[in-house]
Structure 1
Amino acid sequence: MNALNSIQLLAVIVLPVLFAITVHEAAHGWMANRLGDGTAKMLGRVTLNPLRHIDLLGTLIVPLITFLVTGFLFGWAKPVPINGRNLRQERRDLALVALAGPGANLLMGVLWGLVAQGGLAFLDTSRWLALPLLYMGATGVFINVLLMVLNLFPLVPLDGGRVLNALLPPTWSAGFSRLEPYGLILLLVLLVTGLLGSLLLPIIEGTIGLLPGAEVVKELFFHRQP
């Protein structure tokens, strides 16, 4: 598979990355609104406008630094404001709101996989069309699965931590919640030491293997021939 030049590559990866971040955050707000809390909707956060979700430090600076230093993409967007007191069943609904983001990433991973499959169909007849579809689709699959798996890591303030917190008995939940101020610090330590990648990459690769376009993603991101 011929490579795109740097400008072409940047052009085809920006869209799936922006959608991965934007739809993830909008899904949290959409689910909260469905379950009784319209806070995010009133503040304009149930939107596909990426400018409403991008955080300068977490969405741009930290991901760039961590990728250059560790080879693993790590970052965050502006948290969607949720008022749990407005939800119908607070503990259950907070877990559903948390799951909405990774669920949106899984759905987008499937859709981008179909884009990559479409690129394969044109590979022998129209490479100028095939290559952008392949790179865009593969990037969409990889970034969405990465965000899904990372966010399901069972540590607050990640979505997986929110789900675990809702499942714990109330007394345990209170103690677990006290870890939240240190959650990002702990994640960064796991990332820098390589432990986070060791834990998550096998899950990421295994999940990708179940999606359409898996062979393209593995060739481009895991350097394995289909």
Structure 2
Amino acid sequence: MGLISLLTSNPTAFVMIAAALILSLTVHEFAHAYTADKLGDPTPRRYGRVTLNPLAHLDPFGTLLMLLVGFGFAKPVPINPSNLGRWGTMCVAAAGPISNLLIALLCAVLLKVVPQTQLGLTILLTVLSINVVLAVFNLIPIPLLDGSRILGALVPSLGRSLRDFEMQPYSFLIVMAFIYLMSGPIGSVIGAVRSWVLGFVGF
């Protein structure tokens, strides 16, 4: 179910989740761009991606999908792997999920050490949950996701095959179809990790 259904049934929840998603996706993509920039690849800066401005990172079609079906994406950060090398490319890929895990960790610490109002509690739990979901989902080792690029760096021969596949014009549709068909198992794994994290912090 997409976010748009909340707009009339629970506008407060809509605003809260939408804001948390924008924050989390922006930080995720900024982490990719910032890491690549620091490791010597000027490509993200050339495309204006080394910024925390959400407008630089949100994809119109991906945002529309989030509103309508509850699943979407931001604009991938363009990089030049030849400027980064094998391990630099892996660091750039890992930076996005790591940024989401750091946001989740910050929320968990705040939940533990800072007295919360009901609104503050709801906001922190929402941001924590979304960032756990984003981190786990992006670490799945399938093409176009960060997990595949990390795996490709660890296994160079596989990495070349994955890059060749991603350059094909039909790769996006195939990956989207795969995620849709496997949404049950993927959702179960992500849900289990999310439940474990929430249980760990006492919720």
Alignment TM class, shorter chain as reference: 0.7 to 0.9
Q: Which whole-Å CA distance do the structure 1 matches of 2:12 and 2:189 have between them?
A: 32
Counterpart amino acid of residue 105 in structure 1: N
- Residue number in structure 2 paired with 1:78: 75
User: Structure 1 residues 178, 187: CA separation in 2 closer, same or farther (over 3 Å shift)?
Assistant: farther
Please say if residues 149 and 159 of structure 2, whose CA atoms lie closer than 8 Å, have aligned partners that are also in contact. no
Counterpart amino acid of residue 76 in structure 1: F
Please say if 1:135 is aligned against 2:139: no
Deviations 1:28-48 (A, max 9, x none): 000001111021123221111
User: Structure 1 residues 133, 115: CA separation in 2 closer, same or farther (over 3 Å shift)?
Assistant: farther
- Residue number in structure 1 paired with 2:4: none
TM-score (norm 2): 0.83
Instruction: Give the alignment of 1:112-191 within 5 angstroms.
Output: 112-117=107-112, 121-122=115-116, 130-170=117-157, 172-180=158-166, 181=171, 182-191=174-183
Q: Which whole-Å CA distance do the structure 1 matches of 2:58 and 2:48 have between them?
A: 13
Please say if 1:21 is aligned against 2:25: yes
Q: Which whole-Å CA distance do the structure 2 matches of 1:174 and 1:12 have between them?
A: 40
Instruction: State the SS of the aligned residue for 2:136.
Output: helix
Deviations 1:1-55 (A, max 9, x none): xxxx933333433432211010000000000011110211232211111111111
Sequence identity (%): 36
- How far 1:177 moved relative to its partner? 3.3
* Structure 1 alignment gaps of length 5 or more: 68-73, 123-129, 216-226
* Structure 2 alignment gaps of length 5 or more: 1-8
Please say if residues 26 and 57 of structure 2, whose CA atoms lie closer than 8 Å, have aligned partners that are also in contact. yes
Q: Which whole-Å CA distance do the structure 2 matches of 1:115 and 1:14 have between them?
A: 21
User: Structure 1 residues 94, 144: CA separation in 2 closer, same or farther (over 3 Å shift)?
Assistant: same
* Structure (1 or 2) with the larger CA radius of gyration: 1
Deviations 1:72-125 (A, max 9, x none): xx32101111011222xx111111100000000001111223444467x24xxx
TM-score (norm 1): 0.75
